[in-house]
Amino acid sequence: MRILLIAVAAGFVLALVLGGRFANLKGRSLRAWLLLPLGLALQLAAIGSAGSTWPFVLVLLSFACLFAFAVANLGVTGFWMIALGVCLNAFTVGLNHGMPVGHKALAHTGNNSSVYVALRHEQRSSDKLLILGDVVPISPIGEVVTFGDLILAVGLVDVIVHLMRPSKRRRDEGADEDDDEDRLLPLVGAGLSND
């Protein structure tokens, strides 16, 4: 989804604007990180799978991996939003055997080619909780997204910004160095005045 790629790019730009640095990512580790590429690989496998059962199973397994990854990292600011976004999308797909795409939102973007991707379908009368489906049109990028996607996107930006900021330990060490300099300056000044 383009919205998530845009969120990642926006996260890096915002982090840099706020004084974050790529160097601060060094030494940061995320728990259960292998679940992230596994979850993404399962999503891609679902797109390439034939039939209706296997894509459904693969997408649900993908959501399970991504949700577990997010939960494992709840200690990192922003991951709660990623967990919530993934959970909302998984719930909607599980409930409707696919992600319903709203007619009005689709017409608003003028995009109907993406509806037929794995486990996405135009809304049906039998669909439940359509409000959680792909009903939010984003015309500039020609995409229809869910509220779960929007929450997930905000979470991605938040996580990236916080990971690129100096760690608390580094900030504390910097503050200690500043305090030491503040304490030394009067002593140096006093020594100079005695000369």
pLDDT tens across 153-193, in order? Answer: 999 999 999 999 987 655 555 545 545 555 544 544 555 45
pLDDT for 188 equals 45
pLDDT for 123 equals 81
pLDDT for 182 equals 53
Task: Say if residue 97 is in the same domain as residue 128.
Answer: yes
Contacts of 101 (CB under 8 A, 6+ apart): 115, 120, 121, 122, 123, 133, 134, 135, 144
Task: Say if residue 159 is in the same domain as residue 177.
Answer: no
Contacts of 128 (CB under 8 A, 6+ apart): 95, 96
Task: Say if residue 61 is in the same domain as residue 134.
Answer: yes
Task: Say if residue 108 is in the same domain as residue 184.
Answer: no
Task: Say if residue 174 is in the same domain as residue 191.
Answer: yes
Please list the ranges in the chain whose pLDDT falls under 50: 113-116, 175, 178, 184-185, 187-188, 192
Looking only at the bridges linking them, the beta strands covering 143-145 and 120-122 are: unpaired
Task: Say if residue 128 is in the same domain as residue 176.
Answer: no
Task: Say if residue 98 is in the same domain as residue 191.
Answer: no
The parent domain of residue 31 ranges over 2-164
Task: Say if residue 73 is in the same domain as residue 158.
Answer: yes
Task: Say if residue 152 is in the same domain as residue 173.
Answer: no
pLDDT for 140 equals 82
Task: Say if residue 8 is in the same domain as residue 55.
Answer: yes
